[in-house]
Amino acid sequence: MKFLDHLEEWLIAILMGAATLIIFVAVLHRYAAGMPIPVVQDWLLALNLGWAQELCIIMFVWMAKFGAAYGVRTGIHVGVDVLINALDDRKRGWFVLFGLLAGALFTATIGTFGAKFVWGLAGTDQTSPDLEWPIWIVYLAIPLGSYLMCFRFLQVAWSFHKTGFLPHADHGHVEGLDKEAEVEWALMPSDLHPRDVKPGKQP
């Protein structure tokens, strides 16, 4: 289970680092290939980096899917919960739990349809335009990301059921800024997430 605790961060960091490096090399190659340097220019023009843009687009799609799961785990998805926060602890707890389980059901449904779609593509010879990878590899992000998001919804729902607490992201916090220097509005409770419920009153 320890491996899953930071799975999204590792995947996103690897994909983002690789995409940054590939874009840097591709841009550098493009400009260097335009310089009239004997031998070097011919060698650079012989290198085909036309696939770099397509690969980076695929990587960003994968980052978005895993980033959505990360958002569920850390509580950074924005929601409008003014009415829910006006309810008492017991009712609010049931609404929050219902919302989390509905999110799990929705992402499980998307993951299942995505898996069927990928399975159908795997039986074809379709490939991506530049990389010429089997196209099902590109679309594999849909079921994997959706099922991971479903798992995070269930994980948060179970934790909420046991403790009454939800993950919250402090949108007003700036890394490296002293607490004394933070403005008061940044310390106010946010209405963008349902409030926690007191232990013993969770559903």
The pTM score is: 0.82
Mean pLDDT of 83-94: 86
Q: Cβ contacts of residue 3 below 8 Å, gap of 6+? A: none
Rounded to 5 degrees, φ, ψ at 35 are -85, 130
Among the listed residues 144, 169, 188, 164, the one whose alpha carbon sits nearest the alpha carbon of residue 100: 164
Question: How many percent of the chain have pLDDT more than 70?
Answer: 87
Q: Which residue has the higher pLDDT, 18 or 168?
A: 18
pLDDT of 105: 98
Q: What is the mean pLDDT of the chain?
A: 87
- Residue 4 pLDDT exceeds 90: no
pLDDT at 10: 93
Domain ranges in the chain? Answer: 2-170+181-187
| CA distances in angstroms from 115 to 23, 26, 111, 134, 142, listed in the order given | 30, 33, 6, 15, 8
